[in-house]
Chains A and B, each alone.
Chain A
Amino acid sequence: MWTPLAYAIIAGSVGLGVWCLASGARGRYLNQPQYSGLLLLSAVVLVQSIVAVVRLVGGERPSDLITFVGYLLTTALLMPAGVWVARMEPTRWGSVIAGAASLVVAVLTLRCLQVWSQ
């Protein structure tokens, strides 16, 4: 984990999540900037996961390794999965799915950070 990037992910995913949920509340599907934002977030989360794996291979070890890897995998897969399901539902509910996934990414990233520094 690279802490500044983790905080950037948390801030970005909270903002994006609230934005998507707001669209859902207004009865709208995701617009192009939101969609691009979700893809960008997926990519940045992937970068963070690669950084974490490189540091794990380099010998850094959180005390609870299994839990950390579990959170890391879930975090990396969640956003792409959320976008995938949201695309199957091109209604307001697609926006809700993307928004919920984005907020959960924030929580999971925070948990990753906590486990990493333990």
Chain B
Amino acid sequence: MTRSAINTGAGRVLLFLYALFALAAGARASVQIATNFDEAPVAYLLSAFAAVVYLVATVGFVRGGYGGRRLAMVCLLVELAGVLAVGTLSLVLTSAFPDETVWSQYGRGYGFVPLALPVLGLLWLRAHPESRDAPPPTGNAAEDADAAGDR
């Protein structure tokens, strides 16, 4: 594993938090949709959508590499747009959101972590650009040092 990997170091903290949020949002959405869907369909579907985004972002972080990084990047952007849009709408159009979603009021119900996560995630990905994704170690120390230094 080279330093360029997005799934080690602070990246592993993000990975853990994303897995946790995928579970939290997914479980919440499942219970809400199964028990009282009619009460607030928009809010519950949004929770389910958020859960899927968190799950796919988690997969992106776990896989790492070029594809994983792209996948995580797309999810983070969707997530940031989602939390900003839903956060604002839930304040302006309170009637449209009779029940909380993960993203309501910028994720206040979850300690604003849903707002912080995509921002931290994008900063993290920015600090680890694609070109630094080195090929797997060849076992040749000189080549590996070269690959690690190739930014």
Contact B13 A93 (CB under 8 A): yes
Most A Cβ at <10 Å: residue of B16, B17, B20, B35: B16
Please report whether the interface of chain A is mostly helix, strand, loop or mixed according to DSSP: helix
Chain A contacts for B34, CB-based, 8 A:
66
| B8 at the A interface (CB under 8 A) | yes
| A3 at the B interface (CB under 8 A) | no
B16 is contacted by which of A70, A74, A85 (Cβ under 8 Å)? A85
| A78 at the B interface (CB under 8 A) | yes
Contact A93 B27 (CB under 8 A): no
Contact B12 A97 (CB under 8 A): yes
Please report whether the interface of chain B is mostly helix, strand, loop or mixed according to DSSP: helix
Contact A89 B9 (CB under 8 A): yes
With A88-B12, A100-B17, A101-B16 known as contacts, the answer to whether A66 contacts B24 (CB < 8 A) is: no
Q: Which of B19-47 contact A (CB under 8 A)?
A: 19-20, 23-24, 27-28, 31, 34-35
Contact B31 A97 (CB under 8 A): no
With A74-B24, A91-B9, A93-B10 known as contacts, the answer to whether A82 contacts B31 (CB < 8 A) is: no
A74, B28: Cα distance in complex, Å:
11
Query: Closest approach, in angstroms, between the C-beta of A48 and any C-beta of chain B?
Result: 19
Contact A89 B8 (CB under 8 A): yes
Residue positions of A touching B, CB distance < 8 A: 66-67, 70, 74, 78, 81-82, 85, 88-89, 91, 93-94, 96-97, 100-101, 104, 107
Residue positions of B touching A, CB distance < 8 A: 8-10, 12-13, 15-17, 19-20, 23-24, 27-28, 31, 34-35, 111
25 sample A-B contacts, Cβ–Cβ < 8 Å, listed by A number: A66-B31, A66-B35, A70-B27, A70-B28, A74-B23, A74-B24, A78-B20, A81-B16, A81-B19, A82-B16, A85-B12, A88-B12, A89-B9, A89-B12, A91-B9, A93-B12, A93-B13, A96-B10, A97-B12, A97-B13, A100-B13, A100-B16, A100-B17, A104-B20, A107-B111
